[in-house]
């Protein structure tokens, strides 16, 4: 019987290299308790691969240990003198870049000629140990604390490292001077730095903003993401400012939790923090992991509980509320203005007049209505039909649907308005210029704002989305088949079975005919009726 091999794990006939993560480092490794690397089903092959796999896992734990910022045992993460010098050189230039971005005028201080002379003497070996300690001793001690070296003052190794740090400091100073003149092309010239083996203990920098840009490009290629880009750009910028770094590989679960808590402390609503801030960064980092830009998503397991929003009434309009809104909209006349700059566009006026009625009697989303074009209406076997299509703009399901028009829409003259309109969009001006935002969404917002300012929208109801709730409620009261209601409104099928077969225009027409008219004329009293 073969003995147990350290760090080798057998699970269901497959072998893994396995290392347990120390408790204090788990927050730097996405909260994991252990790391594993698959080695395959063959034990002999797994044993051959084990040493290198364990070394790679130990490397990941070592990087997490360094990120913790806690003192480590001397020499735990050894680097050569050249690598330490290269690290110091890179850190000095990174600090210079950060200072310039923050607006610090370090260049105005000037170069200390005495220090430059001492650095050159240090490189030449002309300084005593005490003089070298004054010049670079604190830096040597820092790298001792980081576990990169065990050198002690008075030894040849200490003096050699001190001279290497003098090289790094002098070279970095040269780059800073070049940057003051606008030259950012300089590279280290001294052989100690130029020939140093690259330090592999840090992952390459991956821009958070760059990942967001790539993610948005992919969404836009699928005609999605415009709304997300508008909402999330400021969120990504805020995270980069808070983390003081644009490097996604430096994000940790701890840092993201601190960011979340800071947002809550700034009086942002918990649901906003959860549904906008956390959702944005989780989506971007998940995409980055799926596309091999990152190894893991530190935001993945961050949870946030949000109390359910208090609901004091139905989400849709009551019949009386709906009638009040429809009376206001159908009677709408744009305010007179002799100034072309302030005069309301006729398309905007038409949206205020007709959009609420179309929403009320089709259950459509407001932006699906405000993006309608003249060519989206037709007669089919005598039935007036409205087509909601991605060709006109955004459709959540990305699928077209045909909706027969309710008789009340026809009787109130909407088709006459359509027939009298020019080809193209009905509710916003046609233009050959590329819009900076979705014009249909802009018009939908104006309709919403107008209704709210008019005081006809009750608290707790969305001025536009409330119609979808109302339509569903009315449809159920009329005992319309739920599947047909969903097909009219563009809701996804509830079961796989519901996705079989088609809901025809004839079936939708029968259902629409069961939706009652809104009584928009005030009822006359008995005395008025007799007169």
| Residue 110 clears pLDDT 60, i.e. is over it | no
The pLDDT confidence band at residue 135, using thresholds 50, 70 and 90, is very high
pLDDT for 395: 66
Specify the long-range contacts of residues 42-47, CB closer than 8 Å, at least 24 apart: 42/15, 43/2, 43/15, 46/8, 46/15, 47/5, 47/8
- CA 424 – CA 373 distance, rounded (Å): 5
Q: Exposure of 303 by Cβ count < 10 A (0-12 exposed, 13-18 middle, 19+ buried)?
A: exposed
- CA 322 – CA 49 distance, rounded (Å): 71
Q: What is the 3-state secondary structure (H, E, C) of 213-240?
A: HHHHHHHHHCCCCHHHHHHHHHHHHHHH
Cβ neighbours around 230 below 10 Å, total? 12
Structure confidence by residue, pLDDT tens digits, 377-418: 999 989 999 998 888 776 665 678 899 999 999 999 999 999
326 or 441, which is more confident? 326
- CA 510 – CA 522 distance, rounded (Å): 28
- Phi/psi at 4 (5° precision): -75, 130
Structure confidence by residue, pLDDT tens digits, 477-530: 989 888 889 888 888 766 655 565 678 999 999 999 999 999 887 654 445 444
| Residue 348 clears pLDDT 60, i.e. is over it | yes
Q: Is the Cβ–Cβ distance between 29 and 60 less than 8 Å?
A: yes
| Residue 531 clears pLDDT 80, i.e. is over it | no
Nearest to 517, CA basis, from 484, 478, 479, 476:
478
Structure confidence by residue, pLDDT tens digits, 53-67: 776 777 677 777 766
Tell me the mean pLDDT in the region 299-309.
80
- CA 403 – CA 485 distance, rounded (Å): 11
Q: Where are the alpha helices (DSSP H) in 197-293?
A: 208-221, 226-243, 253-265, 270-272, 279-290
Beta bridge partners of 11: 14
- Phi/psi at 125 (5° precision): 85, 20
Classify each residue of 270-293 as buried b or exposed e, where b means 16 or more C-beta atoms within 10 Å of its C-beta: eeebbebbbbbbbbbbebbeeeeb
Q: Is 446 helix (H, G, I), strand (E, B) or coil?
A: helix
- CA 234 – CA 427 distance, rounded (Å): 30
Length of the chain in terms of residues written: 531
With tokens 């009726």, the residue in question is 529
The CA-based angle 99-103-109, given to 5 degrees, is 70
What is the DSSP code (8-state) at residue 274?
I
Q: In the chain, what is the straight-line distance between the N-terminal and C-terminal CA atoms, in Å?
A: 109
| Residue 136 clears pLDDT 90, i.e. is over it | yes
What is the DSSP code (8-state) at residue 495?
S
pLDDT for 2: 47
pLDDT for 386: 92
pTM of the model: 0.51
| Residue 474 clears pLDDT 50, i.e. is over it | yes
The pLDDT confidence band at residue 436, using thresholds 50, 70 and 90, is very low
Tell me the mean pLDDT in the region 413-438.
81
Q: Give Cβ neighbours of residue 517 (< 8 Å, ≥ 6 apart).
A: 407, 408
Beta bridge partners of 378: 385
């Amino acid at each position: 019987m073969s003995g147990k091999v350290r760090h080798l794990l057998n699970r269901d006939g497959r072998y893994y290299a396995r290392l347990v993560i120390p408790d204090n480092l788990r927050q730097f490794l996405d909260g994991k308790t252990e790391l594993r690397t698959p080695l395959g089903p063959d034990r002999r092959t797994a044993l051959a691969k084990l040493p290198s796999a364990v070394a790679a896992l130990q490397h990941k734990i070592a990087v997490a240990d360094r990120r913790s910022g806690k003192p480590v045992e001397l020499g735990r993460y050894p680097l050569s003198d050249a690598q330490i010098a290269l690290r110091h050189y890179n850190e000095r230039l990174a600090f210079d870049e950060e200072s310039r971005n923050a607006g610090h005028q370090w260049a105005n201080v000037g170069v200390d000629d005495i220090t430059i002379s001492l650095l050159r003497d240090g490189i030449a070996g002309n300084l005593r140990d005490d003089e070298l300690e004054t010049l670079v001793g604190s830096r040597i001690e820092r790298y001792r604390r980081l576990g990169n070296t065990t050198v002690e003052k008075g030894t040849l190794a200490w003096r050699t490292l001190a001279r290497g740090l003098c090289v790094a400091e002098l070279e970095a100073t040269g780059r800073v001077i070049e940057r003051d003149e606008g030259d950012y092309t300089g590279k280290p010239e001294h052989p100690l730095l130029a020939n140093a083996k690259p330090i592999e203990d840090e992952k390459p920098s991956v821009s958070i903003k760059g990942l967001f840009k790539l993610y948005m490009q992919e969404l836009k290629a699928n005609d999605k993401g415009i709304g997300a880009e508008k909402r999330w750009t400021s969120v990504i910028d805020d995270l980069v400012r808070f983390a003081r770094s644009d490097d996604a590989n430096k994000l940790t679960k701890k840092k993201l939790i601190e960011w979340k808590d800071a947002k809550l402390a700034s009086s942002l609503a918990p649901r906003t923090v959860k549904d906008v801030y956390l959702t944005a960064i989780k989506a971007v980092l998940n995409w980055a992991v799926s596309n091999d830009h990152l190894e893991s998503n530190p935001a993945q397991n961050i949870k946030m509980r949000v109390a359910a929003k208090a609901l004091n009434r139905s989400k849709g309009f009551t019949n009386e509320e709906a009638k009040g809104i429809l009376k206001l909209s159908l009677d709408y006349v744009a305010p007179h203005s002799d100034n072309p700059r302030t005069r309301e566009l006729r398309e905007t006026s038409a949206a205020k007049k007709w959009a609420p009625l179309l929403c009320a009697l089709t259950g459509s989303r407001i932006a699906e209505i405000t993006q309608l074009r003249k060519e989206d209406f037709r007669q089919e076997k005598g039935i007036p039909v409205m087509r909601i299509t991605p060709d006109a703009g955004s459709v959540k399901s990305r699928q077209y649907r045909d909706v027969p028009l309710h008789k009340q829409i026809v009787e109130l003259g909407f088709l006459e308005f359509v027939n009298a309109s020019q080809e193209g969009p009905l509710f916003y001006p046609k233009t050959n210029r590329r819009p900076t935002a979705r014009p249909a969404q802009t018009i939908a917002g104006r309709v919403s704002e107008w209704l709210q300012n008019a005081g006809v929208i009750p608290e707790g109801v969305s001025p536009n989305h409330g119609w979808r709730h109302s339509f569903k409620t009315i449809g159920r009261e009329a005992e319309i088949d739920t599947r047909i209601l969903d097909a009219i409104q563009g809701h996804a099928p509830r079961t796989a079975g519901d996705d079989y077969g088609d809901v025809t225009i004839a079936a939708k027409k029968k259902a629409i005919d069961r939706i009652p008219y809104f009584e928009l004329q005030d009822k006359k009293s008995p005395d008025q009726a007799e007169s």
